[in-house]
Amino acid sequence: MNVTEKIQSINTFTESKFKEKGSQFIGQAYPIHSEEEALKILDSIRKKFYDATHHCYCYDIFETANKYSDDGEPSGTAGIRILNAINHFELTNLLVVSIRYYGGTKLGVGPLGKAYYRSAFETLETAPKITKIKHVKVKVTFDYDITSHIHHTISLFEGINISNIFELKPAVECCILSSQFDKFQASITEASSGKAELELLDGSIFIKRDTK
């Protein structure tokens, strides 16, 4: 964990609409963190736009999942075109959906692919972008008498999203820059004379923050 990885994503839900030969295309983009979250949003979209002809989509989660669907459109005209738009902006951790209401006139394979690309592109073009940095989520369990040492070490490493837990022993959950994890682990061991327990809860969380 000696390299701080950064990703570019979107900051909030964004939508765009246009019509092409009577067909309406509704492009929507959502920031997501997991495949489960993407599938849940897709389910809600299908229920909300139940009368739409197609719900084509692509979602990408950094180093975890990448999937797209033509949802009944000719192969290669929708899902891959949405992915191309995502790649154009070099984005990840997002779901992009293009909802189509068929207007009665067939567009043809070429124009249809262009329409889906346009739907995704225009949606992402206006979406607020955000840079996130890779963190790890850790849990430190320790004895009461070294509480101040543990908290001081966490502050030195600019730990964020801090949560204090009181079980049989006190514990702290927080997020540390991935690039600093090895040094943090060594510092916790030193501060506690090897008595504190350090547990890695999540090895890949992307968070927006200012860093030195």
> Got the DSSP string for 48-67?
HTTT-SEEEEEEEETTTEEE
pLDDT at 212 over 50: no
Mean pLDDT of 173-191: 94
Within this chain, do residues 59 and 106 fall inside the same structural domain, yes or no?
Answer: yes
* Residue range 60-117, pLDDT digits in tens: 998 888 999 999 999 999 999 999 999 999 999 999 999 999 998 999 999 999 999 9
Continuous H helices in the chain: 35-48, 79-88, 109-126, 147-156, 181-191
Residue 183's pLDDT band (cuts 50, 70, 90): very high
Q: Is residue 212 part of a domain?
A: no
Say what the pLDDT of residue 141 is: 94
- Residue 170 is predicted with a pLDDT of 92
Say what the pLDDT of residue 203 is.
Answer: 85
Alpha carbon separation from 112 to 21, 68, 98, 104 (Å, rounded): 11, 16, 12, 13
Of 148, 143, 212, the C-alpha closest to 171 is 143
pLDDT of residue 21: 93
Claim to verify: residue 31 and residue 72 sit in the same structural domain: yes
User: Where is the domain boundary, 65, 92, 127?
Assistant: 127
pLDDT greater at residue 119 or residue 3: 119
User: Are 41 and 121 within one domain?
Assistant: yes
**Domain-terminating residue out of 127, 149, 183:** 127
Count of the separate structural domains present in the chain: 2
- Contact present, 131 and 6 (Cβ < 8 Å): yes
Same domain, 99 and 147: no
For tokens 């006139």, name the residue. Answer: 105
For residue 8, count CB atoms less than 10 angstroms from its CB and return exposed for 0-12, middle for 13-18, buried for 19 or more: middle
Classify residue 1: in a domain, yes or no: no
pLDDT of residue 210: 58
141 and 188 share one domain: yes
State mean pLDDT over 121-129. Answer: 96
Residue 3's pLDDT is: 53
| pTM, to two decimals | 0.78
Residue 1, pLDDT above cutoff 50:
no
Q: Give the percent of the chain with pLDDT over 90.
A: 85
Look at the alpha carbons of 184, 186, 191, 193 in this order and tell me if their dihedral is positive or negative: positive
Predicted pLDDT at 176:
95
The arithmetic mean of pLDDT across residues 187-201, rounded, is 94
Q: Look at phi and psi of residue 44 and say left if phi exceeds 0, alpha if psi is from -120 to 50, else beta.
A: alpha
Instruction: Clarify whether residues 123 and 19 are in a common domain.
Output: yes
108 and 156 share one domain: no
- Of the ranges 43-52, 145-154, 160-169, 182-191, which one carries the lowest mean pLDDT score? 160-169
Question: Is the Cα dihedral 17, 75, 114, 19 positive or negative?
Answer: negative
pLDDT tens for 147-173 read 999 999 999 999 999 999 988 889 999
The dihedral region occupied by 207, where left means phi > 0, alpha psi between -120 and 50, and beta the remainder, is: beta
* Nearest alpha carbon to residue 183 among 147, 207, 162, 158: 158
Domain of residue 87, residue span: 6-127
